[in-house]
Structure 1
């Protein structure tokens, strides 16, 4: 993500030098370069999402320190850096007193410039996301849901599940904070490719004076959505984090987020035991093998002996599940003794390998794994309350529906009548063809004389009888079947029946058939 920088420098030479250096840095963009303090204030207010403002010591007419103080008051989430000719201790103290995030010389090296701007931008973005979350934070005083994940032993996928669970909840619109309390071997920064200078150790040192701003400064906002509180970079720092500090930290964080996901690793310490005790839900991740089943049972019994958590109040999540495993969920449920989640995480090693190596959880494209994480979130009731049902419609709506229904019924009825009339026409055409063929054969055998002699009348009546015999239903009415013989052809016309009783269609369907002398063919 490109870092948006505003420069406030009155000295043209210094401005040219720094501008040239910034152009050599990647992912850094100078959006505005101003030489007057008033223009700097206006530019910061006009440009959205400014990350860092660099103010030169000799800018005017408002002095640099006063300008920094004004910017910080108007934009408390904005990181401001003072550019000084000499970065002395007195200059640094004065800048910090005005609210600046740091001091840099007027001729810094590229590495120094990049490092200082990147750190300031990281702080600014964290604060901006925190301020945005604070605006939407609940004001009822209710605490968010705390979910603590533990591993029955190393390698059960606790960190993987915690990371993807936090990302899935964030994608569902929940405010999520992922806390890495595996204090000696936390791998969240590795799995997410994160480098952050603050950790839970910084909050533990200031636990007596924790507030929203202090917590926000220690958090890292991941692009995928969740906020991160990382474990100490040095394992020995874990000794300085007490259970009391963890209680205070988690309490403050729970007041700012909907869901707090804690990765407590597989080792039980005083600090992560507090996370288990405070949690609304505790989940032990276990693989389908005997050592993991025993480790899960051993951990829950220890918590019970220490009066931290009852065995029946702990869920077990089966990870790396496969239908070919010897231990299936039914057997695992009997072995662990604690409730077993119905959801399982499949054994998709290849699907997770790329994400683990690159530090990009979004690289996991396996739909089965993503669905499994979603099922876990649903089963643990972490996706929030279901949307309220729509209230029943009032009388006006019901009346409108009745009017619409009354208007549609005649249209539907008319359409059905038209369809049925088309069917009648098709059947009439078919029977007319059958009757014409039969009449042509009868005329060839019996003859058809138009004279009014008894024999001719009998022949004509026999031809009509045979033609009518090929017709059934309402089409067999003799009054609506007409036969004409002329020019070696027989023409049969049948009146098409109407779908409405008492209504006669004004047309008939006619078919011609040639009279073939079968004796000539012999």
Structure 2
């Protein structure tokens, strides 16, 4: 997220110094300073007339601005432009002035002489506040973009080996490819593998931030590794025992700092729920639970959902379950996973693709996974479904959606749950109430063989699939049938030629050439072009030769240029009959 700052400084030298310091802040876009209060209000009014989004997130008001006093100016800005965060720059940072500035509507005070760390913290705080206000004032923003700063996505696994890290990495790569500013955090503190998947060696980790009370932008910048893909990586500690240093307080501070600098923050929480991972799940705008379509993994997912519900960090209906290694032949389909866990299952299921992933995993270059990979296409389709990238138009991306499409709920537009527990609380819900069904009956349906037909029954999203597949196979089937039919015609022509030659030779041996011609031509259909030659031999054997043209598919329409020849001989009986030729 880029923070636009408009300084208001009466002294040109102070304005120049302030602009230079602002230019050193990461993710900041400072404007040229304005010299008086009237010009400042006019500038803000013109920007607000164009659009609410045109206003700067932060206005820095110097204490010596004129002609209006600084506190009066702050009060005027707060009344006329409530979507702007105001920071007062003053040499007197005492309690009295602080209280007066807060009453006037300022979001913070920066003391003179200005320090990098203090100014960065005040600007970040005011920008977060302004972003939250604009979201409420706009009313039509993205419903998934809850909370100050960037969108937070927590990815957890039902059990080890279900593909949690691969899912988190590919979601981050998809969002980055869409032009978003993305941070990927490895909060699998004892066995994090993001560094291995992306071939990264970095001395800093999230554990280095555990003892820091105030995480400034510069400290965060030192701890975050910028990958060649553009991802910002905050890695797990190389020594697993250091994971105990990362508490829930540390996780909240780190996540808050990352959300203020990145549009999207994706956290790999692993499969073990630590206090830091629980904090990430609670703060997340979207909580993903990755599982596989087998009984053990589904039961583990159900246990994880129950754990989150008991800890009151995430309700079942606020959790999105992702089915990895999905196949149409599996007995456990996404609909059954949804019934067993009580969660919402993502429409996009990830197919099994061990051979596709193995080279990328072994080389540690998951970012070089082939774009044609079905696994990559499905995971990037999932990113579109979650709103991390622009979603594909309806009907597209067949690979990215499993064929048993199943929206949660009835028809209409589907909205992903889990945009924070406070939405449910504001609506009158009780966060302590459990909403997780035990799912035992659903899982017990797997055992009897009589239920397999139900489990493999096509969902409503498969309607028309058979017709589409049939139309795709029909041309090939017609070609195969045409070839078979042509081979039948060739064989039949060979049979006709042989039989006709045999009959002609027998008739000619007894009655002469005329009888040979008639007998040979008698059983040849009119659609076959024949050339009959009677006679020859050595005087004791009467020979007949029949040449037939092979028709092309339809007899009588066209023939091949080559012929099929049948030759037969019979003992010459004309002399014994007392006549003949």
With the length of structure 2 as denominator, give the TM-score of the two structures: 0.42
